[in-house]
């Protein structure tokens, strides 16, 4: 995760700042493991928020901000430091979310949202299924990239990004400039 932390830092902070404004008082949210979701934590201003995460790195920041948090148990992936696997999938079923914030490795018109690991994809998909709404938090470098595993289709979530690249092949239903 260290090398990913150093990539596109300003873009990730801009995405994180905007994404954090989507969190409302009393929300229960899923915060996916990853660098962009980690950057969201300092920008959370909503009160009485409860966070469920598969990102061990997220817990310290959440606790420091006095945000109630639950860390899913399971296997920790050595490369991303994300908690994954069957135990994490069992544990996440105990929760329901107002909002899920999910990071991805690829955003493509035909393949949708993708990630390299099948177990990470399964957990992201389940968090999405348990949420009333889902935001994909991603810097623009992920557009037109495809990773090994599909998470779900583009139309199933709202993308928060720093810049909309050339959108050939993407169906845009609404385009807003928030930054």
Q: What is the pLDDT of residues 57-108, one digit of tens each?
A: 999 999 999 999 999 999 999 999 999 999 999 999 999 999 999 999 999 9
* Mean pLDDT calculated for residue range 143-159: 97
Residue 160: strand, helix, or coil: strand
What fold does the segment set 2-103+124-140+153-160 form as a domain? Rossmann fold (3.40.50)
Give yes or no for residue 29 having a pLDDT over 80. yes
pLDDT mean across residues, the chain: 92
In which band, very low, low, confident or very high, does the pLDDT at 177 lie, cut at 50, 70 and 90?
very low
Q: What is the mean pLDDT of residues 12-28?
A: 98
In the chain, pLDDT over 70 holds for what percent of residues? 89
Q: Distance between CA atoms of 55 and 59, rounded to whole angstroms?
A: 7
Q: Using only C-alpha atoms, what is the Rg of the chain?
A: 15
Q: Cα separation of 146 and 138, whole Å?
A: 14
What order of strands is seen across the sheet that includes strand 131-137? 68-71, 50-53, 28-31, 97-102, 131-137, 158-160
Give 101's strand partners.
Answer: 31, 135
The 3-state secondary structure of 87-118 reads HHHHHHCCCCEEEEEECCCEEECCCEEEECCH
Q: Of 156, 64, 63, 167, which is closest to residue 102 (Cα–Cα)?
A: 156
- pLDDT over 60 at 168, yes or no: yes
Q: 1 or 45: which carries more pLDDT confidence?
A: 45
What is the CB neighbour count within 10 angstroms for residue 175?
Answer: 7
Confidence of residue 24 (pLDDT cuts 50, 70, 90): very high
CA dihedral 44, 38, 143, 96 (to 10 degrees): -70
Query: In angstroms, rounded to a whole number, what is the distance separating the alpha carbons of residues 169 and 37?
Result: 27
Residues 159-174: what's their mean pLDDT? 73
pLDDT of 175 above 50 = no
Domain ranges of the chain: 2-103+124-140+153-160
Q: Largest Cα–Cα distance in the chain?
A: 44
**pLDDT of residue 50 exceeding 80:** yes
Residue 178 pLDDT level (bands cut at 50, 70, 90): very low
Separation between Cα atoms, residue 90 and residue 50, nearest integer Å: 19
């Amino acid at each position: 995760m260290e090398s990913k932390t150093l990539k596109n830092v300003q873009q990730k902070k801009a995405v994180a700042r905007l994404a954090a404004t989507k969190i409302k008082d009393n929300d229960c949210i899923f915060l996916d493991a990853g660098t962009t979701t980690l950057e969201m934590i300092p920008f959370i201003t909503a009160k009485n928020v409860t966070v469920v995460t598969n990102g061990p790195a997220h817990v310290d920041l959440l606790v420091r901000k006095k945000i109630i948090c639950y860390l899913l148990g399971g296997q920790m992936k050595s490369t991303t430091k994300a908690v994954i696997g069957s135990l994490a999938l069992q544990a996440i079923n105990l929760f329901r979310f107002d909002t899920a914030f999910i990071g991805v490795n690829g955003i493509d018109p035909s393949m949708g949202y993708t990630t390299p690991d099948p177990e990470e994809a399964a957990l992201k998909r389940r968090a999405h299924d348990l949420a009333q709404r889902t935001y994909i938090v991603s810097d623009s470098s992920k557009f037109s990239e495809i990773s090994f595993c599909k998470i779900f289709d583009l139309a199933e979530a709202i993308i928060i990004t720093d810049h909309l690249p050339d959108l050939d092949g993407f169906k845009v239903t609404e385009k807003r400039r928030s930054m």
